Amino acid sequence: MAPDRSTRPGATLSPVTDLRLRVDDFDYDLPADAIAQTPAEPRDASRLLVVNRAADALHHARFGDVGEWLRPGDLLVVNDSRVIPARLTGTRQGGGAAEVLLLRPLDDDPMRWEALVRPSRRLAVGSTVTLRSGDRVAVGERIGDGTRSVTFVGDPHAIMAAAGEMPLPPYIHDRSAPPDRYQTVYAQPLGSAAAPTAGLHFTPELLASLETRGVRRASVTLHVGLDTFRPLEGLFVDEHHIHREWYEIPAATRAAMNAADRVVAVGTTTVRVLETAARTTEATGWTELYVTPPYRFATVDALITNFHLPRSSLLMLVTAFVQAGMAEADAMAARNRLLDAYRVALEGGYRFFSFGDAMLIV
């Protein structure tokens, strides 16, 4: 019988408390050549490190064989957000190159967006950037945390289609991959400034194969924003403030979760939606959920995720998930286990970050 997730222990509880954690406790050495510059071909040819929390065991596999580690009755929940061509380059008034990296539309006007602009100091309020398509973007006031408002002179999505580029992370220097390789095969609504990268490993054939095994699939939406690229601030983990991101969870997904034996979240963004939804009846809204260890997970039983940046909120979430599956473990023990898995992966030649390999944590 599937668990009743509406009354599952921890579903309405706040995160439990623990010793105050330091940001530098979640640092690790990463050689530059371990950062994947191009995606695996085909998508499911990437490697998979399976982490069994209860048994304290690691297994090496290929992502295309992920079905060997799943079982009938499991529900894959994916983030179906589509990345917008959010990187706009052009020329500022008076000459000189300029870049606008779009993050999200502002609530009060669909023509106005929050963005990172460079060089910010040389782009005064009211100045314009002329894009390679000839379209213009007006630079507005500072919003906070280094972002500005920008206003399109014309339809934003038409301008992005004409002049925008995929906003690959700054650690990817090889731009030769086709734009669709930075989209999941099931991406639907436009809105993300970065891809939900755990889903990049799936092919239509792999998803069909999993369905024949009795592994069903459901979707949520979270439009990925600025914090994907931002390291933790301050000396202590609890000093960081995570940016809010827009999410939606369909009623059909909630129903499928209640009928599932296990919920397998594809990516940390999916986890944030599901854990937010477990604490509210709202089907859509903004989430500022910042998952740090220790944490009581209300919905997620297993996690597919990539290898994350040192000192990042994503590494915090994964550490918390590792701890949740360990008997009587503290946060530092979970950190040690996760970073030991990262060490094994580095020694084994796994590739890290957005175009890199994956982990399945059960």
pLDDT tens digits along 116-140: 999 999 999 999 999 999 999 999 9
Strand-strand pairing, 147-152 and 74-79: unpaired
Identify whether 5 is part of a domain.
no
Strand-strand pairing, 57-62 and 82-83: unpaired
Out of 20-24, 300-304, 355-359, which region has the weakest mean confidence (pLDDT)?
A: 20-24
Identify whether 18 is part of a domain.
no
- Please answer whether residues 321 and 3 qualify as being in contact, where contact means their C-beta atoms are separated by less than 8 angstroms: no
Half-sphere exposure of 157 (CA within 13 A, CB side): 7
61 lies in the same domain as 186 = yes
Residue 26 pLDDT > 60, yes or no? Answer: yes
Q: What's the token pair of residue 205? A: 């054939």
Q: pTM of this prediction?
A: 0.91
307 lies in the same domain as 219 = yes
Identify whether 14 is part of a domain.
no
304 lies in the same domain as 241 = yes
Domain stops at, among 102, 132, 163: 163
- Alpha-carbon gap, residue 181 to 185, rounded angstroms: 9
156 lies in the same domain as 52 = no
Tokens 């023990």 locate to 333
231 lies in the same domain as 312 = yes
Identify whether 71 is part of a domain.
yes
Q: Map residue 140 onto helix, strand or coil.
A: strand
Residue 12 pLDDT > 70, yes or no? Answer: no
248 lies in the same domain as 343 = yes
140 lies in the same domain as 218 = no
Domain stops at, among 163, 194, 229: 163
Total count of domains within the chain = 2
Q: What is the pLDDT of residues 143-166, one digit of tens each?
A: 877 899 999 999 999 999 999 999
Buried b (16+ CB within 10 A) or exposed e, 99-110: bbbbbbbbeeee
Q: What's the token pair of residue 77? A: 């929940």
98 lies in the same domain as 132 = yes
Identify whether 15 is part of a domain.
no
> At 96, which CATH number?
2.40.10.240
Enclosing domain of residue 93? 87-163
- Alpha-carbon gap, residue 153 to 96, rounded angstroms: 20
258 lies in the same domain as 298 = yes
216 lies in the same domain as 324 = yes
156 lies in the same domain as 278 = no
248 lies in the same domain as 335 = yes
Tokens 């069909």 locate to 208
